[in-house]
Structure 1
Amino acid sequence: MVTVPSSPPPRTQRGRAKAARRAELLTAAARLMAERGFAAVRLEDIGAEAGISGPAVYRHFSSKTDVLDTLLLEISERLFTGGNEVVERGLAPTTTLVELIGFHIEVLVSKPDVIVVQDRDLPSLTPAANHRVRLLQRRYVERWIDVVLECAAEGELPEMGRDEARVRVHAMFGLLNSSPRLPPFPSSRLRPVLTAMALAALGARADE
């Protein structure tokens, strides 16, 4: 199993500098891969974009595939862990659903390049990373489905079975995850628009 281990923040100045360079490389990689596609980007391009010399890049990543694995594993872990944290707050089902939508939108707004890369370049992951990412995605979806069904049981959403809930959740993700490709729009106004669209995809009435 491939995963991104959680570790405490580096305490030394050298450790913090190394972590900052790694983050810069990942940000540069996401930007370039979103613009050009994974196949058209070299590891050297990523280093140049981040202002890091070619040999120094290899201190952080062994290949551009290693970079892609890290990018998509980290975003998948972030979504799954963050979604769980929302659900485990024990709020009312409708409140939980709205909080989940808000959390997902915040990730989209803060990491648009990574979302584009995930949507387009998932097949380029190594087999182990692909398996782990898809497992995390399935678990994330199932948490959403549980909440949607709880809302439906309380009459806050239309009555539906698990299969329909799964279709609605996937359709909602399709809407939300397309947001990085939308025309320019202020993020403060984009959030309520996307929230309304997400609720509509799940069957909420317009007045809710």
Structure 2
Amino acid sequence: MVRCRPAERTGKAAHVGQRSDGTETERSRLKAERRSNLLDAAAELVAARGYHGLRLEDLGAAVGISGPAVYRHFPNKEAVLVELLVGVSEYLHRGGENAATEPDPAARVRALVGFHLTFALTSPRLIEIQFRDLANLPDDARHRVRSLQRAYVETWVRALRDLDPSRSEEDARIRAHAAFGLLNSTPHSVGRVPVPVLEQTLSTMSLTALGVGGSSAAAAATHPSEARTPS
């Protein structure tokens, strides 16, 4: 199963259940772990069945708990979808901002490609859900996702224009979306193509499309086995 990291996605779990000295209680640790497992299972189930095919009873069964026990973590399946899609949008936005701290423009673009490629290789189920089930989010959550997505795209646009100041904003945005199309193609390939081959190919193609060449293109991407990303 592709792993999901809810604390990294949402940033909400870090301080829950801590003692006054800052240490985490065993109970809160187990609760956070159970919630993480539920989200992992939800990503698999929603990707396979669609949002409307998700039942909380099946979600509980997937992690070995009763259906009613799921309600201790999520009030309904809409809340599960919100956690998945808003969370992953927050994760990508944070990662883009971190990559954008690279002072060298070429290194910045490589860092953005490497970050997104690692996400795409380790989280193909979330990409499927994003494409198919975004419309099923409540309005406020969908607007939050769209806002985060726009901010993430603009991080790429700025990096591309810093790389080539003569490039128009329109051209930079077209190139960024083209790179997303390449990188987000992993749901069609993960499990069918060896990961090193897929990593090399997508990295090289994306960097070439963005105007960054070099034979060491794939080195910009963190190997999925070394990454801790959502899924």
TM-score by length of 2: 0.81
Among residues 173, 192, 196, which one is paired with 2:200 in the alignment? 192
Among residues 104, 109, 117, which one is paired with 1:92 in the alignment? 104
Q: Which moved more, 1:25-34 or 1:47-56?
A: 47-56
Quick one: distance in 2 between partners of 1:182 and 1:110? 12
Question: For residue 172 of structure 1, what is the amino acid of its counterpart?
Answer: A
2:223 paired residue number: none
Report deviation, 1:8. Answer: 2.1
Q: Tell me which stretches of 4 or more aligned residues in structure 1 moved more than 3 Å.
A: 3-7, 203-208
Report deviation, 1:86. Answer: 1.2
Say yes or no: does 1:174 pair with 2:181.
yes
Secondary structure in structure 1 of the residue aligned to 2:167 = coil
Q: Tell me, which stretches of 5 or more residues in structure 1 are unaligned?
A: 154-158
Report deviation, 1:108. Answer: 1.2
Quick one: distance in 2 between partners of 1:85 and 1:204? 19
Report deviation, 1:6. Answer: 3.2
Quick one: distance in 2 between partners of 1:187 and 1:175? 15
Report deviation, 1:201. Answer: 2.5
Written as runs of structure 1 = structure 2, the 5 A alignment for 1:96-115 is 96-115=108-127
Among residues 47, 56, 76, which one is paired with 2:60 in the alignment? 47
String of CA shifts for 1:117-171, please: whole Å, max 9, x gaps.
Answer: 1111111111111011110010000000000011112xxxxx4200111111112
Q: Tell me, which stretches of 5 or more residues in structure 2 are unaligned?
A: 1-8, 18-23, 218-231
More helix by share: 1
State percent identity of aligned pairs. Answer: 44
Q: Is the 8 A contact 2:13 2:32 kept in 1?
A: no
2:156 paired residue number: 144
String of CA shifts for 1:56-83, please: whole Å, max 9, x gaps.
Answer: 0000001111000000111111110011
1:161 paired residue number: 168
Question: For residue 165 of structure 1, what is the amino acid of its counterpart?
Answer: A
Q: Which moved more, 1:185-194 or 1:120-129?
A: 185-194
Quick one: distance in 2 between partners of 1:206 and 1:7? 40
Among residues 56, 61, 66, which one is paired with 2:69 in the alignment? 56
Quick one: distance in 2 between partners of 1:117 and 1:61? 18
Number of aligned pairs? 200
Question: For residue 42 of structure 2, what is the amino acid of its counterpart?
Answer: A
2:226 paired residue number: none
The CA RMSD over aligned residues, in Å, is 1.9
Report deviation, 1:176. Answer: 1.0
Secondary structure in structure 2 of the residue aligned to 1:69 = helix
TM-score by length of 1: 0.89
Quick one: distance in 2 between partners of 1:139 and 1:96? 16
